[in-house]
């Protein structure tokens, strides 16, 4: 078999969502939604307001229980696992919520050390030392660990929250609008850091975002939520050709064209 006819190795699926239904009162957010996420990829989740991007993330990590459907992570059905086993699987997740969700009464280092103490059982002194390592991974200086969240800029809060998400050495990183509210320079720096961490640590990244620059600079694939399901899930240039009014307006409108031009110029 020559090089041109060799089979492409199958990608390992780490998240499988099948037939997902999420309903809140009379409002159906997801109806028979299917999605696969592959090991080592950065997948961006996009869609119009009310399409349930954050709801999908929260369903996968177990904060929302769906009406119906199946969520498999690492081959295990999270919805049917005993509590102890489910907790073990969830420790392989790292989560960064949109607001950062840091404890305001704890220093940054204490925020990062907390999961190491509670879930990994490390002594406080070891957890604090390891928190410094995670701060460095997230691109923060050591002295940032002594500060409280209220003393940090928006960009530093995002990085501190990322450091906490990395505390337990997760295999999958879930990010909900990580660059929301950041200035363009800080957002670009965060995007670059995300790609560096994925490459260095072998992370799989599930990224909810509306930031076109982030999509083009970080994502291997993009999944579009529309009509209560995943309308398309493919590399961004392929998704941008999808015959759907929202997709065309989003990817091929003025801001979409600017992001496309910048991305392609950067590759020249």
Give the model's pLDDT for residue 259.
59
| Bridge partners for 27 per DSSP | 24
Domain annotation for the chain: domains and CATH numbers:
44-57+84-267 (3.40.50.300)
Give the model's pLDDT for residue 267.
56
**Strand 42-47 relative to strand 172-176: parallel, antiparallel, unpaired?**
unpaired
Give the model's pLDDT for residue 102.
85
3-class DSSP state for residue 12?
coil
Give the model's pLDDT for residue 164.
92
- Distance in angstroms (rounded) separating the CA atoms of residues 250 and 186: 23
Q: CA nearest 217: which of 266, 158, 176, 184?
A: 266
Across the chain, which has 268 residues, the per-10-residue mean pLDDT values are 50 95 95 97 94 95 93 91 88 85 89 90 91 91 90 89 92 93 90 94 95 94 96 94 91 67 56
Instruction: Tell me which residue has tokens 């020249």.
Output: 268
In degrees, rounded to 5, the angle at the alpha carbon of residue 243 between the alpha carbons of residues 242 and 248 is 75
Give the model's pLDDT for residue 263.
60
Give the model's pLDDT for residue 121.
87
Q: Longest Cα pair distance anywhere in the chain, in angstroms?
A: 63
Give the model's pLDDT for residue 54.
94
Give the model's pLDDT for residue 206.
98
User: What global pTM score does this model have?
Assistant: 0.88
């Amino acid at each position: 078999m020559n090089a041109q006819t060799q089979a492409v190795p199958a990608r390992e699926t780490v998240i499988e969502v099948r037939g997902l239904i999420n309903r809140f009162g009379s409002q159906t957010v997801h109806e028979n939604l299917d999605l696969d996420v592959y090991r080592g990829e950065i997948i961006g989740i996009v869609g119009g307001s009310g399409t349930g991007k954050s709801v999908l993330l929260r369903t996968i990590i177990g904060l929302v229980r769906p009406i119906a459907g199946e969520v498999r992570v690492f081959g295990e059905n999270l919805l049917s696992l005993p509590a102890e086993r489910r907790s073990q699987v969830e420790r392989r997740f790292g989560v960064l919520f949109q607001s950062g969700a840091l404890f305001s009464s704890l220093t940054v280092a204490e925020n990062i050390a907390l999961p190491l103490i509670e879930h990994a059982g490390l002594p406080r002194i070891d957890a604090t030392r390891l928190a410094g390592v995670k701060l460095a991974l997230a691109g923060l200086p050591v002295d940032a660990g002594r500060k409280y969240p209220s003393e940090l800029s928006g960009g530093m809060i995002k990085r501190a929250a990322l450091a906490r998400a990395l505390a337990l050495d997760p295999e999958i990183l879930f990010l909900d609008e990580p660059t929301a509210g950041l200035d363009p320079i800080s957002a670009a720096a965060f995007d670059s850091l995300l790609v560096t961490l994925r490459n260095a640590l072998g992370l799989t990244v599930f990224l909810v975002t509306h930031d076109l620059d982030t999509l083009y600079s970080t994502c291997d694939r993009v999944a579009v939520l529309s009509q209560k399901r995943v309308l398309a899930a493919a590399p961004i240039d392929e998704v941008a050709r999808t015959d759907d009014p929202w997709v065309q307006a989003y990817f091929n409108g003025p801001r979409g064209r600017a992001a496309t031009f910048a991305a392609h110029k950067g590759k020249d």
